[in-house]
Amino acid sequence: MQKIFDEVNSLDKRCYEKFLLSEDLLMEHAASSIASYIRENHSSCKSILIVCGSGNNGADGITLARLLHKKFDVKLYLASNPKSSMTQLQFQRVEALKIEIINELFEADIIVDCLFGTGLNKPLDEKSTNLINTLNSYNSFKIACDIPSGINNLGQVQSVAFEADITITMGALKTSLFSDVSKDYVGKIIVADLGVEREVYEVESNKFLLDESDMNLPFRNKKNSHKGSFGHLNVVAGCKKGAGIIAANAAFNFGSGLVSVVCHENLDLPYHLMQTHFISENCTAIAIGMGLGKYETDEIRKILNKNVSKIIDADLFYDELICEVLNQEIVLTPHPKEFCSLLKLCKIADIKVEELQNNRFLYVPMFSKKYPKVTLLLKGANVIISKNEKLFVNSFGSAVLSKGGSGDVLSGLIGSLLAQGYDCLDSVITASLAHTMAAKNYDKNNYSLLPTDLIEEIRKL
């Protein structure tokens, strides 16, 4: 996993003070990283348009123009006059080289966005909005320097943002790159070093980006075992019984030795799933909430107070009953609307989904601070996982998963790992990564995924 930071100005300052690196030197490395990427990956391209603002993000772009001069047909477009001292210095250098400054945008082979970076702290004016819209309309390969212009330091987009194919971010990963809104703009993210390796530049952080290597699949390494060695998950099925059956099927295919669906009505289940009318005496984990609908409160309260690991989803986030178990080591997996309801029930915030989506990295820590025993997974384009004061981002999700039943599969995967003895946080991290990697491996049309397809891909991981 990789560290994520809310801001990196303090890390830059540390480089100046502790490692005696100058601002000019850091800027040279920033521009050099973009130049190296272009030379190595786009050597056949001819024309490059670098669009610069008046601050240090613009200075990075002006420096880049100097580094690529003669190797490519480089044109500089200045959206406003250089203001910062570094921008003025870099501009003097490109003037000495007689690099062409243009007044009209054009569709170059490559466009590099160096307008605002992380320095954007107010809504875009009409001129900037029109400029970005024009750049987005071009069929060029688009590179964002540090962060696509139009995204502020909270990961919010007020009106429009540069639609990058790749974002080369400087020094370290920033939280604003991983908002749900940012996902349609950042493209692939690369971290460029600024004169020292990342492990030197970075300090401690409580936010992390998950890598595929963080997935710890439940491979069976012990030869002397039986079905009971791998846990017994109970999945509580409610009004929408299909949700529980999907979760149970996913759990069985993810290594749980036994899976029982708990329902008072007789169900037509696959042969490998068992049915019970009440929680099994030997169950090692419970999955509850998926398609639960209306239920008998006292019965559900009894189940929630069972002394086994639990994953809770869906309908229970609308009932005050959930507040009674938030002092337990449990897993919660709400989608945004459900999380808004949970925040209100817990008296943390009364907000709409839009407010949450614009501030996911604000409200998730607020909840986790109040309920440090809970492992929370907030669903979204970028999944956020939080436990106590640590936060993890799974950025592998895609629109492939935007189908009914996908969340039920995830609940089953988490429940399966809980039943097999994983702790709550490890269960959620591995299950979430498996869920998104399985969807990534699905090779049919991205609108056609069925829960059974997702489960089949899980089997191939």
- Is 120 flagged in the annotation as binding? yes
**Using 50, 70 and 90 to split pLDDT, how confident is the model at 305?**
very high
**Range with the lowest mean pLDDT among 83-87, 117-121, 344-348?**
117-121
Backbone angles phi, psi at 270, to 5 degrees: -55, 150
What confidence score (pLDDT) does residue 412 get?
97
- Is 335 flagged in the annotation as binding? yes
Q: For the stretch 253-269, what's the b/e string if a residue is b when 16 or more beta carbons lie within 10 angstroms of its beta carbon?
A: bbbbbbbbbbbeeeeeb
Residue 74 has pLDDT above 90, yes or no: yes
Compute the Cα dihedral for 191, 192, 197, 203 and give only its sign. Answer: negative
- Give the residue-averaged pLDDT of 51-68: 93
- pLDDT, mean over the chain: 94
State how far the Cα of 127 lies from the Cα of 140, in Å rounded to an integer.
21
Q: Measure Cα distances from 160 to 100, 156, 382, 399, 415 in Å.
A: 28, 10, 20, 21, 40
**Using 50, 70 and 90 to split pLDDT, how confident is the model at 319?**
very high
- Is 243 flagged in the annotation as binding? yes
Helix (H) / strand (E) containing 112:
strand 110-114
- Is 122 flagged in the annotation as binding? yes
408-431 confidence digits (pLDDT tens): 999 999 999 999 999 999 999 999
State how far the Cα of 262 lies from the Cα of 265, in Å rounded to an integer.
9
- Is 159 flagged in the annotation as binding? no
- Is 113 flagged in the annotation as binding? yes
**Using 50, 70 and 90 to split pLDDT, how confident is the model at 190?**
very high
What confidence score (pLDDT) does residue 204 get?
96
What confidence score (pLDDT) does residue 50 get?
97
Domain 2-205 CATH superfamily: YjeF N-terminal domain (3.40.50.10260)
- Is 123 flagged in the annotation as binding? yes
- Token couple for 107: 């569709």
- Is 334 flagged in the annotation as binding? no
Q: For the stretch 298-336, what's the b/e string if a residue is b when 16 or more beta carbons lie within 10 angstroms of its beta carbon?
A: eebeebbeeebbbbbbbbbbbbebbeebbebebbbbbbb
Residue with tokens 């250098």: 93
- Is 68 flagged in the annotation as binding? no
Strand 331-332 to strand 309-312: parallel, antiparallel, or no bridges (unpaired)? parallel
What confidence score (pLDDT) does residue 118 get?
80
- Is 59 flagged in the annotation as binding? yes
What confidence score (pLDDT) does residue 107 get?
95
- Is 407 flagged in the annotation as binding? yes
pTM value is 0.94
Instruction: Return residue ranges of the chain for CATH 3.40.50.10260.
Output: 2-205
- Is 408 flagged in the annotation as binding? yes
Helix (H) / strand (E) containing 95:
helix 85-96
- Give the residue-averaged pLDDT of 285-305: 90
Residue 361 has pLDDT above 80, yes or no: yes
Residue of higher predicted confidence among 166 and 225 = 166
For the chain, what is the largest distance between any 2 Cα atoms, rounded to a whole number of angstroms? 83
State how far the Cα of 111 lies from the Cα of 109, in Å rounded to an integer.
7
- Is 250 flagged in the annotation as binding? no
Q: Measure Cα distances from 118 to 169, 193, 459 in Å.
A: 10, 17, 41
Residue 336 has pLDDT above 80, yes or no: yes
CATH code given to domain 213-460: 3.40.1190.20
- Give the residue-averaged pLDDT of 285-291: 95
Share of the chain above pLDDT 70, in %: 100
* Cα-to-chain-centroid distance, residue 88: 37
What confidence score (pLDDT) does residue 202 get?
96
Residue 260 has pLDDT above 90, yes or no: yes
DSSP assignment string, 440-458: HH--S-TT---HHHHHHHH
What confidence score (pLDDT) does residue 83 get?
85
Instruction: Return residue ranges of the chain for CATH 3.40.1190.20.
Output: 213-460
- Is 60 flagged in the annotation as binding? yes
What confidence score (pLDDT) does residue 293 get?
81
Residue 222 has pLDDT above 90, yes or no: no
DSSP assignment string, 199-249: HHH----SEEE--GGG--------SS--GGGG-EEEEE--SSHHHHHHHHH
**Using 50, 70 and 90 to split pLDDT, how confident is the model at 123?**
confident
